[in-house]
Amino acid sequence: MESQTSLQELTKLSHTYYERQWMYATAGNLSCRAGDVFWITASGKHKGELNEKDFVCVSVGDGSLVSAREGLKPSAETSIHQVVYSQISDSGAALHVHTLDSNLLEFGVGKEEGFRDFPLPPIEIIKAFGIWDEKPNLTFPVFYNHTHVPTIASEIKRYIETKGKPQVPFLLIEGHGPTVWGKTVAEANKHLEAVHFLLQVMARRI
């Protein structure tokens, strides 16, 4: 029942994000965790028309397919969600979108470099992450946009293993878009809205 409710929430958010122009056509992917498995949007599904049957079930442990309706296969970015769930124990939902500002921002992360931390503007919206410090000195990780998505996932895992969990509940793939997480779908959505505003501010400060 809990998983069904989460899928209903994700379906509604998919339509909302499409209307906001955060998930054009089949772009982006949404998921929620249920113990040792997670449900993620199937590959090639139009996000403005998504329904609760357009999700597949995947193992948190190794990213293998557990179950899917005939003809459905996991999103191409399933490996990124799998790393989030396997490396961040309290993550219960993960959302990945392609906003305009996240694609306009340029960070210059090199292919061999893989990732780099960048400062966040210490503005009020950061309280959405549960951080109440006055003018906090925070960074977020930006990853090189490898064509081979599992390579991005491996870099995210390497980041967490070497540097720990990011200071804020999101990461950015340069020229691609943010991935956020939260304990619940509602919390992840709150984080995503805050991230969208932060990236808008950053894009306009250039």
Q: Which amino acid is at 142?
A: V
Phi, psi at residue 66, to the nearest 5°? -95, -45
Nearest alpha carbon to residue 160 among 98, 115, 111 = 115
Rounded to the nearest 10 degrees, what angle do helices 185-205 and 2-19 cross at? 20
Q: What distance separates the 2 farthest-apart alpha carbons in the chain? A: 52
CA distance 33 to 86: 10
Residue 96 known to bind ligand: yes
81 marked as binding residue? no
SS (H, E, C) 117-176: EEECCCCHHHHHHCCCCCCCCCEEEEECCCCCHHHHHHHHHHHHHHHCCCCCCEEEECCC
Q: Residues forming the annotated binding site? A: 96, 98
Q: Residues forming the annotated binding site for Zn(2+)? A: 96, 98
